[in-house]
Structure 1
Amino acid sequence: MSVVVNKQRPINPIDYFPSGLVLPAVPLAVAEPNALLRGDTAAAVEEMFATAASDGVSLTLVSGYRSFQDQVSTYEHWVAQYGGDTAAADRISARAGFSEHQTGLAFDVGQDDGACTLSSCFADTPAGQWMAANAHRFGFILRYPLGAEGITGFSGEAWHYRYVSVELAQAMRKDGVATLEEYFNLPPAPGY
């Protein structure tokens, strides 16, 4: 749970594959099973989504685990989108072997109506606001907070959450610490 993956700390081994991936029983943004998560993470996601629903907030799981090869494709897509500018792509997409999605502990969340999916305006949706206020209760942290790019290496992503355990998520919130780098007193990781 306390593993830190960033631009200075690749996954080891680089082609790591987590065992025990499962598809959480929650609403998915897409029909294909690209939302696999580790069992502990999936159970926490299911509990969190159920609580959100009881609070009148409908969440959807946008994506979860990505293999090394899937991340190669994702990163290449963003490099192409930015006309070959890897520096621009590096601000919003991890290179393969440096992505939290490969751990099975990270996921992207959205609102059930698709409003602001994978967009900064997600933070202002009922789903985004509920996640910001409640995710820590279930062991999740917002991994890339707005304004922390110099520490995490990525632009703010109001939709990208990471399972760290209830104890750690609540301790970080209580201490007012926004990033894993700061919590574990690690150096910032603004670049590779």
Structure 2
Amino acid sequence: MSARSKARPAPAVPFQPDWTDVLASIEDGVVVIDSAGVVADLNPAAEQLVGVSAPQAVGKRVDDLFSGERGRRAQRGALHWAGELVRDTLSQGVARRRGEGLLRSRRGDVEVNAACAPLHDGDGTVAGAVLVLRDLTLQRALEATGRRAERLAALGTVALGLAHEIKNPLGGIKGAAQLLRGAVDDPELVHCTDIIIREVERLDGLV
């Protein structure tokens, strides 16, 4: 056997990810549901959003997972919107979305948007669904910051306009006071014109 053949590297082993680690690394909440509407798994982000740990959630119907969210609608037997989204996906076999909705998480009510997609087995039968919940807290905070920045920019524009409008008459007042000062001999009137000129200069420095 030649030295070259001895140095040949071993074949690379195909990467086989641990799907539990994959789910745990996703920042969005992910809930996996079987075809009967029973929770099969959920990642840590979903635990935070729904306020229930994975051991408590697995084996429950998805409607029960969100039962704390129903409020008055539950008294009329209606499903929580997330449960409805999953049920529609399982029954129709197509992905469904919801623009936004509220979840009662461990840190209070959280606004999320949601998407639910069917999981198909080898023959195309719907075997379950995956519900993805995206926390909109940061997005809403950024939007609020942007709105505040826009308001401040608008106020700055108004302030610049006001400063310009104030400076114009100040120049006229100062000029008139200077002319008046040169035309009067009364010390008291001279003192008054000096006050006018000084205060105009102070205001001019402010704007």
TM over 0.5: no
Q: Which has the higher contact order (CA 8 A, sep 6+)?
A: 1
Decide which structure has the larger Cα Rg and report it: 2
Instruction: Determine which structure has the larger helix proportion and give its number.
Output: 2
Instruction: Determine which structure has the larger strand proportion and give its number.
Output: 2
Q: Which interval holds the TM-score relative to the shorter structure?
A: under 0.3
